[in-house]
Amino acid sequence: MSTYEPTETLDVKGLSCPMPVVKTRGAVDDLESGEILRVVATDSGSMSDLKGWADATDGVSMLEQEEAEEDGDAVFRHFIQKE
Amino acid sequence: MSSDADAPVDAGAASVEDLRAQVQALQEDVSDLREATDDDGQKSMTIIATKGTLDMAYPPLILASTAAAFGWDVVVFHTFWGLDILHEEKSKNLKLSAVGNPSMPMPNAVAALPFMDSVATSMMEKKIQENGTATVEELIETSLDMGVDLQACQMTIELMGYDEAEFYDGVTTGVGAATALQHMADADVQLMI
C-alpha cells in the first residue's frame, strides 16, 4: 500500500486508452500546487502511459505506481503530484 | 560573407574599424537566429485525417487528445472522407468495411455480401463498448474541450455537398491546404492518416 496521502482520487476503472491519460490531465489541472492525485485504473497500459505522460509533462511528477486487487479485479494505482 | 574575413589581420586603424563592423553584423545575425529558433518548449503536432471508416477515425482522435493532455498545440486537418468524422450525424454511423480486410474472419467473397459491412460494424461497436473504449463522439468532444483545433477542409466540404452547420460546434471551417501546411511547417510531428 502506498504511503502517499492523496488530495483527490480519479476513478478511471473500465476506461481504456486514451481516456486515463486525458482525464488525468483534467484532474491535475484542478489541483493546487503540492497536492497529490490518486488515479485508479483497470487499463494495464496505464502503467506505461501515465508514467510517460508525467515524465514528459512540466509541473507534474509521478510519485508511485502500484498494482493491486479490488473486488477480484487487477487495478493500477498512480500517485501524481502537482509541483 | 566577404573574403575579407579570411585575410590576415592588419593592425592598421582601418582594419580595426572593418573588424568592428563585422563583429556587429555577426552579433545581429546571431540575435536574429536566436529569435527565430526561440520557442517556449511547447511541442506541436499536425495530423491530416483522410479516412472516414470507423477503424480509421480512432487513430487521429486518440493521438490528438493524448497530445493535448501533454500540453501540445494540436491541429487535425480533416479532408475527403475524413470530414465524416467531424460530421455530427455521420460520425455516429461510421462503418467498418469487411472487404479487403485480412483481419476479418471471413473470405472476401462472403465479406462482399450486401449486409456484411453492417455485421462487421456491429461486431466492432460491441467490442468497443465491452472494452471501455471511448466512442468517436466522446473523443471529438474531449479533443475539442482540451483545445485541439479540429479543422474541416473547405474545398471538400463543398465537394461533398456538406453544410458547415452539420459539423460539431467548435470545428474550424473555412480553411484549406495553405492553413494546414503553415501549421505543419512549424510542427514537431506531422502525420497523414
Per-residue pLDDT tens over the stretch B93-124: 999 888 887 888 888 888 888 888 888 899 89
In a domain, A22, yes or no: yes
ipTM of predicted assembly, 2 dp: 0.81
| Chain B nearest C-alpha distance from A55 (Å) | 10
In a domain, A32, yes or no: yes
User: What is the distance in angstroms between the CA of the first residue and the CA of the last residue of chain B?
Assistant: 44
Enter the pTM of the model.
0.79
In a domain, A75, yes or no: yes
User: Residue A71 is part of a domain; what is its CATH number?
Assistant: 3.30.110.40
pLDDT averages per 10-residue partition of chain A, 83 residues: 87 94 95 96 93 92 95 94 95
> What is the domain range of residue A26?
8-82
In what order do the strands lie in the sheet containing A60-70?
A: A8-12, A36-41, A73-82, A60-70
For residue B112 the three cell numbers come to 462482399
Tell me how far the alpha carbon of residue B130 is from its chain's centroid. Answer: 29
Per-residue pLDDT tens over the stretch B37-96: 766 778 999 999 999 999 999 999 999 999 999 999 999 999 999 999 999 999 999 998
Q: In B, which residues are within 8 Å of A19 by CB distance?
A: 132, 134, 142
Owner of C-alpha cell 461510421:
B94
Q: In B, which residues are within 8 Å of A43 by CB distance?
A: 132
Residue B96 Ramachandran class (φ > 0 left, ψ -120 to 50 alpha, else beta): beta
Alpha-carbon distance of B129 to B106, in angstroms, equals 23
Q: Helices then strands (H, E): number in chain B?
A: 8, 5
Domain count, chain A: 1
